[in-house]
Homo-oligomer: A and B are copies of this chain.
Amino acid sequence: MIPTPTITELIKARKNLANYIHQTPVFQSTALNEMTGAQLFFKAENLQKMGAFKMRGAMYATLQLTKEEQQKGIATHSSGNFAQAMALSAKLLGIPAWAVMPSNAPQVKKAAVASYGATIIECEPTLEARETTLQKVVDQHQCTALHPYNDIDVILGNSTATQELLEQIDALDFIISPVGGGGLISGTALAAHYLSPKTKVIGAEPKLADDAFRSLQTGVIQPPLKPLTIADGLRTALGTITFQFIQQYVDEIKLAEEDEIIEAMRLIWERMKIIVEPSSAITLAIVLKNKDYFKNKRIGLILSGGNVDLGKLPF
Protein backbone atom coordinates (compact mmCIF):
# COMPACT_ATOMS: atom_id res chain seq x y z
CA MET A 1 0.00 0.00 0.00
CA ILE A 2 1.23 3.44 -0.91
CA PRO A 3 0.71 5.90 1.92
CA THR A 4 -1.89 8.57 1.23
CA PRO A 5 -0.30 12.01 0.88
CA THR A 6 -1.06 14.28 3.82
CA ILE A 7 -3.12 17.46 3.70
CA THR A 8 0.15 19.32 4.33
CA GLU A 9 1.60 17.86 1.14
CA LEU A 10 -1.47 18.90 -0.85
CA ILE A 11 -1.31 22.45 0.47
CA LYS A 12 2.43 22.64 -0.19
CA ALA A 13 1.82 21.61 -3.80
CA ARG A 14 -0.68 24.40 -4.25
CA LYS A 15 1.64 26.97 -2.71
CA ASN A 16 4.70 25.91 -4.71
CA LEU A 17 2.80 25.84 -8.00
CA ALA A 18 1.14 29.23 -7.58
CA ASN A 19 3.73 31.16 -9.58
CA TYR A 20 3.78 28.69 -12.46
CA ILE A 21 0.13 27.97 -13.26
CA HIS A 22 -3.17 29.83 -13.71
CA GLN A 23 -5.89 29.70 -11.09
CA THR A 24 -8.56 28.81 -13.62
CA PRO A 25 -12.10 30.24 -13.51
CA VAL A 26 -15.26 28.30 -12.71
CA PHE A 27 -18.10 28.82 -15.21
CA GLN A 28 -21.82 28.33 -14.91
CA SER A 29 -24.40 28.08 -17.70
CA THR A 30 -28.06 28.87 -17.16
CA ALA A 31 -28.95 26.90 -20.27
CA LEU A 32 -27.10 23.77 -19.16
CA ASN A 33 -28.50 24.07 -15.63
CA GLU A 34 -32.01 24.16 -17.11
CA MET A 35 -31.24 21.26 -19.42
CA THR A 36 -29.90 19.02 -16.66
CA GLY A 37 -32.01 20.14 -13.68
CA ALA A 38 -28.81 20.44 -11.64
CA GLN A 39 -26.43 23.21 -10.67
CA LEU A 40 -23.25 22.76 -12.66
CA PHE A 41 -19.90 24.37 -11.89
CA PHE A 42 -17.34 23.87 -14.63
CA LYS A 43 -13.70 24.08 -13.55
CA ALA A 44 -12.09 25.39 -16.71
CA GLU A 45 -8.73 23.62 -16.85
CA ASN A 46 -8.98 23.97 -20.63
CA LEU A 47 -7.91 27.56 -19.91
CA GLN A 48 -4.88 26.33 -17.94
CA LYS A 49 -1.45 27.02 -19.42
CA MET A 50 -0.91 24.79 -22.50
CA GLY A 51 -4.62 24.06 -22.41
CA ALA A 52 -4.92 21.27 -19.84
CA PHE A 53 -4.70 20.36 -16.15
CA LYS A 54 -1.60 18.31 -16.94
CA MET A 55 0.45 21.48 -16.54
CA ARG A 56 -0.11 21.21 -12.80
CA GLY A 57 1.29 17.71 -12.37
CA ALA A 58 4.15 18.07 -14.83
CA MET A 59 5.28 21.36 -13.33
CA TYR A 60 5.07 20.11 -9.77
CA ALA A 61 6.97 16.90 -10.48
CA THR A 62 9.67 18.92 -12.24
CA LEU A 63 9.93 21.36 -9.32
CA GLN A 64 10.59 18.40 -6.99
CA LEU A 65 13.79 17.45 -8.86
CA THR A 66 17.17 18.67 -7.61
CA LYS A 67 18.78 21.54 -9.54
CA GLU A 68 21.27 19.04 -10.94
CA GLU A 69 18.53 16.70 -12.13
CA GLN A 70 16.63 19.63 -13.63
CA GLN A 71 19.68 20.73 -15.64
CA LYS A 72 20.02 17.28 -17.23
CA GLY A 73 16.47 17.59 -18.45
CA ILE A 74 13.18 15.73 -18.38
CA ALA A 75 11.45 13.28 -20.69
CA THR A 76 8.12 11.53 -20.97
CA HIS A 77 5.92 9.46 -23.22
CA SER A 78 2.45 10.83 -23.80
CA SER A 79 -0.31 10.88 -26.38
CA GLY A 80 -0.25 14.64 -26.18
CA ASN A 81 -1.27 16.80 -23.26
CA PHE A 82 1.32 15.59 -20.79
CA ALA A 83 4.07 15.98 -23.37
CA GLN A 84 2.98 19.59 -23.85
CA ALA A 85 2.88 20.10 -20.11
CA MET A 86 6.37 18.69 -19.67
CA ALA A 87 7.66 20.77 -22.58
CA LEU A 88 6.24 23.99 -21.16
CA SER A 89 7.46 23.15 -17.65
CA ALA A 90 10.96 22.68 -19.06
CA LYS A 91 10.68 25.94 -21.00
CA LEU A 92 9.65 27.87 -17.89
CA LEU A 93 12.68 26.50 -16.03
CA GLY A 94 15.04 26.77 -18.99
CA ILE A 95 15.94 23.07 -19.09
CA PRO A 96 15.92 20.51 -21.95
CA ALA A 97 12.99 18.14 -22.60
CA TRP A 98 12.31 15.09 -24.78
CA ALA A 99 8.81 13.90 -25.68
CA VAL A 100 8.17 10.36 -26.88
CA MET A 101 4.86 10.57 -28.75
CA PRO A 102 2.87 7.85 -30.55
CA SER A 103 2.72 8.31 -34.32
CA ASN A 104 -1.07 8.69 -34.19
CA ALA A 105 -1.06 11.58 -31.68
CA PRO A 106 -3.07 14.61 -32.92
CA GLN A 107 -0.99 16.92 -35.11
CA VAL A 108 -2.02 19.96 -33.07
CA LYS A 109 -0.53 18.36 -29.96
CA LYS A 110 2.77 17.55 -31.68
CA ALA A 111 2.98 21.09 -33.02
CA ALA A 112 2.37 22.52 -29.55
CA VAL A 113 5.06 20.33 -27.97
CA ALA A 114 7.51 21.46 -30.62
CA SER A 115 6.53 25.11 -30.13
CA TYR A 116 7.55 24.87 -26.47
CA GLY A 117 11.01 23.80 -27.55
CA ALA A 118 10.98 20.10 -26.64
CA THR A 119 12.48 17.44 -28.89
CA ILE A 120 9.85 15.01 -30.22
CA ILE A 121 10.69 11.34 -30.74
CA GLU A 122 7.94 9.40 -32.53
CA CYS A 123 7.18 5.74 -31.84
CA GLU A 124 4.56 3.08 -32.53
CA PRO A 125 1.24 3.72 -30.75
CA THR A 126 1.66 0.95 -28.19
CA LEU A 127 2.49 1.23 -24.53
CA GLU A 128 5.45 -1.09 -24.99
CA ALA A 129 6.97 0.96 -27.80
CA ARG A 130 6.48 4.12 -25.79
CA GLU A 131 8.22 2.72 -22.74
CA THR A 132 11.12 1.21 -24.67
CA THR A 133 11.72 4.41 -26.59
CA LEU A 134 11.57 6.50 -23.45
CA GLN A 135 14.15 4.28 -21.75
CA LYS A 136 16.53 4.82 -24.66
CA VAL A 137 16.14 8.58 -24.31
CA VAL A 138 16.80 8.44 -20.58
CA ASP A 139 19.89 6.25 -21.07
CA GLN A 140 21.26 8.54 -23.74
CA HIS A 141 20.75 11.89 -21.97
CA GLN A 142 20.82 10.85 -18.29
CA CYS A 143 17.61 12.85 -17.93
CA THR A 144 14.66 12.13 -15.63
CA ALA A 145 11.59 10.35 -16.97
CA LEU A 146 8.31 11.79 -15.74
CA HIS A 147 5.35 9.46 -15.66
CA PRO A 148 2.20 11.21 -16.95
CA TYR A 149 0.05 10.00 -14.09
CA ASN A 150 1.38 7.13 -11.97
CA ASP A 151 3.48 9.40 -9.75
CA ILE A 152 2.76 10.93 -6.36
CA ASP A 153 4.11 14.36 -7.29
CA VAL A 154 2.09 14.46 -10.50
CA ILE A 155 -1.01 13.51 -8.53
CA LEU A 156 -0.26 16.17 -5.91
CA GLY A 157 0.09 18.75 -8.66
CA ASN A 158 -3.19 17.64 -10.22
CA SER A 159 -4.91 17.91 -6.85
CA THR A 160 -4.47 21.68 -6.91
CA ALA A 161 -7.26 22.07 -9.51
CA THR A 162 -9.77 20.61 -7.08
CA GLN A 163 -8.23 22.47 -4.15
CA GLU A 164 -9.03 25.66 -6.06
CA LEU A 165 -12.50 24.51 -7.07
CA LEU A 166 -13.47 23.72 -3.49
CA GLU A 167 -12.34 27.18 -2.46
CA GLN A 168 -14.19 28.84 -5.35
CA ILE A 169 -17.48 26.92 -4.89
CA ASP A 170 -18.76 25.53 -1.63
CA ALA A 171 -21.15 22.74 -0.73
CA LEU A 172 -20.64 20.58 -3.81
CA ASP A 173 -22.59 17.32 -3.67
CA PHE A 174 -20.49 15.76 -6.43
CA ILE A 175 -17.33 16.28 -8.38
CA ILE A 176 -17.13 14.50 -11.72
CA SER A 177 -13.68 13.95 -13.13
CA PRO A 178 -12.59 12.10 -16.29
CA VAL A 179 -10.65 8.85 -15.84
CA GLY A 180 -7.81 8.00 -18.21
CA GLY A 181 -4.66 6.89 -16.46
CA GLY A 182 -6.24 8.05 -13.22
CA GLY A 183 -3.88 10.89 -12.37
CA LEU A 184 -6.52 13.62 -12.46
CA ILE A 185 -9.20 11.75 -10.55
CA SER A 186 -6.64 10.64 -7.94
CA GLY A 187 -5.75 14.26 -7.27
CA THR A 188 -9.42 15.22 -7.35
CA ALA A 189 -10.37 12.53 -4.84
CA LEU A 190 -7.51 13.32 -2.47
CA ALA A 191 -8.42 17.03 -2.43
CA ALA A 192 -12.09 16.24 -1.81
CA HIS A 193 -11.16 13.69 0.88
CA TYR A 194 -9.43 16.36 2.93
CA LEU A 195 -11.23 19.57 2.01
CA SER A 196 -14.83 18.48 1.43
CA PRO A 197 -15.35 14.93 2.69
CA LYS A 198 -19.10 14.99 2.05
CA THR A 199 -18.54 15.59 -1.68
CA LYS A 200 -18.83 12.38 -3.69
CA VAL A 201 -16.23 11.89 -6.41
CA ILE A 202 -17.47 10.24 -9.60
CA GLY A 203 -15.20 9.05 -12.39
CA ALA A 204 -16.35 9.58 -15.98
CA GLU A 205 -15.16 6.99 -18.44
CA PRO A 206 -16.03 6.16 -22.07
CA LYS A 207 -17.85 2.86 -22.53
CA LEU A 208 -15.25 2.15 -25.24
CA ALA A 209 -12.44 2.57 -22.68
CA ASP A 210 -14.08 1.21 -19.53
CA ASP A 211 -10.91 -0.27 -18.15
CA ALA A 212 -11.08 1.62 -14.84
CA PHE A 213 -14.71 0.52 -14.41
CA ARG A 214 -13.71 -3.10 -15.00
CA SER A 215 -10.60 -2.74 -12.85
CA LEU A 216 -12.74 -1.67 -9.89
CA GLN A 217 -15.11 -4.59 -10.48
CA THR A 218 -12.38 -7.20 -10.72
CA GLY A 219 -9.87 -5.72 -8.27
CA VAL A 220 -7.11 -6.01 -10.88
CA ILE A 221 -5.90 -3.35 -13.35
CA GLN A 222 -7.51 -4.09 -16.72
CA PRO A 223 -6.12 -2.90 -20.07
CA PRO A 224 -8.26 -0.65 -22.30
CA LEU A 225 -9.78 -2.42 -25.29
CA LYS A 226 -10.08 -1.44 -28.94
CA PRO A 227 -11.80 0.20 -30.81
CA LEU A 228 -10.47 3.54 -29.68
CA THR A 229 -12.76 6.07 -28.03
CA ILE A 230 -12.93 9.62 -29.43
CA ALA A 231 -11.82 10.75 -25.98
CA ASP A 232 -8.16 10.31 -26.83
CA GLY A 233 -6.97 11.48 -23.42
CA LEU A 234 -8.83 8.59 -21.75
CA ARG A 235 -7.35 5.66 -23.69
CA THR A 236 -4.60 4.88 -21.18
CA ALA A 237 -4.60 2.13 -18.54
CA LEU A 238 -4.56 2.86 -14.83
CA GLY A 239 -1.28 2.77 -12.93
CA THR A 240 -0.66 0.95 -9.67
CA ILE A 241 -0.72 4.16 -7.62
CA THR A 242 -3.75 5.70 -9.31
CA PHE A 243 -5.65 2.41 -9.11
CA GLN A 244 -5.06 2.27 -5.37
CA PHE A 245 -6.25 5.85 -4.80
CA ILE A 246 -9.30 5.26 -7.00
CA GLN A 247 -10.15 2.15 -4.98
CA GLN A 248 -9.74 4.09 -1.75
CA TYR A 249 -11.23 7.49 -2.52
CA VAL A 250 -13.45 7.43 -5.63
CA ASP A 251 -17.11 6.66 -4.98
CA GLU A 252 -18.13 5.34 -8.37
CA ILE A 253 -17.27 5.27 -12.06
CA LYS A 254 -20.00 6.01 -14.58
CA LEU A 255 -19.80 5.30 -18.31
CA ALA A 256 -20.82 7.28 -21.39
CA GLU A 257 -21.28 6.29 -25.03
CA GLU A 258 -19.39 7.95 -27.87
CA ASP A 259 -22.39 9.84 -29.23
CA GLU A 260 -23.19 11.10 -25.75
CA ILE A 261 -19.65 12.46 -25.41
CA ILE A 262 -19.85 14.23 -28.76
CA GLU A 263 -23.26 15.71 -27.98
CA ALA A 264 -22.00 17.01 -24.62
CA MET A 265 -18.95 18.48 -26.32
CA ARG A 266 -21.14 20.30 -28.81
CA LEU A 267 -23.34 21.66 -26.01
CA ILE A 268 -20.35 23.04 -24.13
CA TRP A 269 -18.95 24.65 -27.26
CA GLU A 270 -22.30 26.16 -28.29
CA ARG A 271 -23.64 27.18 -24.92
CA MET A 272 -20.50 28.07 -22.99
CA LYS A 273 -18.32 29.32 -25.89
CA ILE A 274 -15.29 27.45 -24.63
CA ILE A 275 -13.30 24.75 -26.37
CA VAL A 276 -13.05 21.44 -24.57
CA GLU A 277 -11.74 18.04 -25.61
CA PRO A 278 -14.02 15.01 -25.77
CA SER A 279 -12.15 13.79 -22.67
CA SER A 280 -13.54 16.81 -20.79
CA ALA A 281 -17.03 16.84 -22.25
CA ILE A 282 -17.62 13.34 -20.91
CA THR A 283 -18.26 14.87 -17.47
CA LEU A 284 -21.34 16.67 -18.81
CA ALA A 285 -22.35 13.55 -20.74
CA ILE A 286 -22.49 11.66 -17.44
CA VAL A 287 -24.84 14.27 -15.93
CA LEU A 288 -27.09 14.33 -19.00
CA LYS A 289 -27.25 10.53 -18.97
CA ASN A 290 -28.14 10.33 -15.26
CA LYS A 291 -30.47 13.31 -14.80
CA ASP A 292 -32.59 11.72 -12.09
CA TYR A 293 -29.55 10.74 -10.08
CA PHE A 294 -28.08 14.25 -10.20
CA LYS A 295 -31.34 16.22 -9.99
CA ASN A 296 -31.02 19.47 -7.98
CA LYS A 297 -27.48 18.58 -6.91
CA ARG A 298 -24.51 20.94 -6.92
CA ILE A 299 -21.94 19.36 -9.19
CA GLY A 300 -18.37 20.32 -9.98
CA LEU A 301 -17.20 19.15 -13.42
CA ILE A 302 -13.50 19.11 -14.18
CA LEU A 303 -13.00 20.28 -17.77
CA SER A 304 -9.60 18.70 -18.12
CA GLY A 305 -8.39 20.24 -21.36
CA GLY A 306 -9.09 21.95 -24.67
CA ASN A 307 -6.44 20.69 -27.04
CA VAL A 308 -8.51 19.67 -30.03
CA ASP A 309 -7.45 19.30 -33.65
CA LEU A 310 -9.77 21.84 -35.31
CA GLY A 311 -9.29 20.06 -38.61
CA LYS A 312 -10.86 16.86 -37.23
CA LEU A 313 -13.99 17.88 -35.35
CA PRO A 314 -16.72 15.29 -34.82
CA PHE A 315 -19.41 17.79 -35.87
Contacts and interface: CB of A to CB of B under 8 A. Distances in A.
Contacts of A276: 273
A310 B270 contact: yes
Contact of A274 (B30, B108, B275, B315): B275
Contact of A51 (B27, B108, B273): B273
B273 A269 contact: no
A1 interface: no
A158 interface: no
Contact of A273 (B31, B266, B275, B311): B275
A56 to B, nearest CB: 16
Contacts of A266: 310
Contact of A275 (B47, B275, B311): B275
A213 to B, nearest CB: 29
A87 to B, nearest CB: 13
A28 to B, nearest CB: 10
A46 B273 contact: yes
A108 B311 contact: no
A239 interface: no
Q: For chain A, give the interface size range.
A: 20 to 34
A117 interface: no
Nearest to A44: B273
A299 to B, nearest CB: 20
A275 B270 CA distance: 8
A288 B189 CA distance: 43
Interface string A261-275: 000001001101111
B51 A310 contact: no
A2 interface: no
Contacts of A311: 315
A25 interface: yes
A200 B115 CA distance: 33
Nearest to A273: B306
Nearest to A315: B310
A25 B272 CA distance: 13
Contact of A310 (B25, B27, B313): B313
Interface in A76-125: 108, 115
18 contacts: A25-B25, A27-B47, A30-B49, A46-B273, A47-B272, A51-B273, A266-B310, A269-B310, A273-B274, A273-B275, A273-B276, A274-B274, A274-B275, A275-B275, A310-B313, A310-B315, A311-B315, A313-B313
Given A46-B273, A273-B275, 14 more contacts: A30-B49, A31-B115, A47-B272, A266-B310, A269-B275, A269-B310, A273-B274, A273-B276, A273-B306, A274-B274, A310-B313, A310-B315, A311-B315, A313-B313
